């Protein structure tokens, strides 16, 4: 069935400026780490991309290794782009990354120029694109000089194969260094992609300050802690959930009694706000103005619809924030 984008797709989404750059990102972006591989149902992938775009989600986040098998999320996204979204390329911000194991041998992992440049070429081929909007160094490499990794990002910018570059999983200190090196090249770091949620608050301890100082945007991944920050695990592990899937990254043993107790209490606070826990978890990470966009994952269309409604209530009272801090202690 052919797809026609909803006429009203820009009516309700909020678009936030990414740091001090010219680029705006939707307050909620969709990541294709899980549920878009060859192990998944392509028609469900298509429906999720369509619904997301219809709701104003213009940013889709990928990486070379997303699948499984690695690379298949990019290939599937490429198919959907070609068949359904071809006329909308200039309305989309598409990102990819390299930094984790992608192919055997010494050139298919980490942060060398050799790896990053050739990996992006492969990603472009899989997605059928001439350029990505954002290309990331997926993780810092302790063995490659950071000058080389940033030099590779700068090279990619100058080749025109990415419009912007970013970093992911870099510490506050590594981020400051990366920004300074890119500036020396006459380029800039657009954005940082860190893990951040109510269950993982490490970026509050320095990284957010660096991003604010440097005018770099922030797009936290796993804002729902892979689904733990929803009500889905409160009554056991559903058969169709990430924790139950053999290829899911969420291990069952992470859903401990202690975590469930916190989730249950958070779920009550969300209820008092007339939100689902998923919605409150997204609103909570967006409460800091330095956070540009919440990078969610979904396994079905209804989750996208529910999560976008988080934007209906982004305000937190002092009392609510205190209650949440108390629960998370």
Ligand X SMILES: NC(=O)c1ccc[n+]([C@@H]2O[C@H](COP(=O)([O-])OP(=O)(O)OC[C@H]3O[C@@H](n4cnc5c(N)ncnc54)[C@H](OP(=O)(O)O)[C@@H]3O)[C@@H](O)[C@H]2O)c1
Binding mask 150-169 vs ligand X (x if CB under 6 A, - otherwise)?
Answer: ------------------xx
Taking contact as CB under 6 A, which single stretch among the options 5-13, 32-40, 106-114, 311-319 is the one that binds ligand X? 32-40
Identity of the residue, 4 or 239, whose beta carbon is nearer to ligand X in the bound complex: 239
Among 241, 267, 292, 293, binds ligand X (CB under 6 A): 241
Identity of the residue, 43 or 317, whose beta carbon is nearer to ligand X in the bound complex: 43
Taking contact as CB under 6 A, which single stretch among the options 25-33, 47-55, 157-165, 180-188 is the one that binds ligand X? 25-33
Q: Would you state the structure tokens that stand for residue 89, as one six-digit string?
A: 């390329």
Is 303 an interacting residue with respect to ligand X (CB under 6 A)?
Answer: yes
Among 122, 306, 309, 323, binds ligand X (CB under 6 A): 306
Among 216, 295, 310, 311, binds ligand X (CB under 6 A): 295
Among 19, 23, 26, 34, binds ligand X (CB under 6 A): 34
Is 211 an interacting residue with respect to ligand X (CB under 6 A)?
Answer: no
Is 232 an interacting residue with respect to ligand X (CB under 6 A)?
Answer: yes
Is 61 an interacting residue with respect to ligand X (CB under 6 A)?
Answer: yes
In the complex, the residues that contact ligand X under the rule CB under 6 A are: 31-35, 61, 138, 168-169, 193, 221-227, 230, 232, 241-242, 278, 295-299, 303, 306-307
């Amino acid at each position: 069935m052919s797809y026609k984008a909803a006429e009203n797709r820009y009516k309700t989404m909020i678009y936030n400026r990414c740091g001090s750059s010219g680029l705006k990102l939707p307050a909620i972006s969709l990541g294709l780490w899980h549920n878009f591989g060859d192990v998944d149902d392509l028609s469900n992938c298509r429906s999720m991309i369509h619904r997301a775009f219809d709701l104003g989600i213009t940013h889709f986040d990928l990486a070379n290794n997303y699948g499984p098998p690695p690379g298949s999320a990019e290939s599937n996204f490429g198919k959907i782009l070609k068949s359904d979204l071809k006329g909308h390329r200039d309305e989309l911000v598409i990102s990819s990354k390299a930094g984790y194991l992608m192919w055997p041998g010494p050139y298919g992992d980490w942060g060398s120029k050799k790896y990053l440049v050739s990996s992006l070429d492969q990603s472009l081929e899989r997605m059928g694109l001439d350029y990505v909007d954002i290309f990331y160094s997926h993780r810092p490499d302790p063995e490659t000089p950071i000058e080389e990794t940033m030099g590779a990002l700068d090279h990619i910018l100058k080749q025109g194969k990415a419009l912007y570059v970013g970093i992911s999983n870099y510490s506050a200190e590594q981020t400051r260094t990366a920004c300074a090196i890119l500036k020396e090249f006459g380029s800039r770091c657009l954005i940082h992609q860190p893990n951040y949620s109510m269950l993982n608050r490490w970026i509050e301890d320095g990284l957010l300050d660096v991003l604010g100082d440097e005018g770099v945007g922030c797009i936290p991944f796993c804002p729902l802690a892979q689904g733990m920050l929803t009500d889905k695990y409160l009554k056991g592990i559903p058969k169709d959930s990430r924790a139950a899937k053999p290829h899911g990254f969420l291990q069952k043993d992470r859903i401990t009694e202690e975590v469930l107790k916190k989730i249950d209490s958070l779920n009550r606070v969300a209820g008092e706000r007339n939100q689902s826990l998923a919605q409150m978890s997204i609103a909570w990470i967006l409460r800091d103005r330095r956070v540009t966009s919440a990078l969610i994952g979904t396994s079905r269309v209804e989750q996208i619809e529910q999560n976008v409604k988080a934007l209906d209530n982004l305000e937190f009272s002092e009392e609510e924030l205190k209650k949440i801090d108390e629960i998370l202690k």
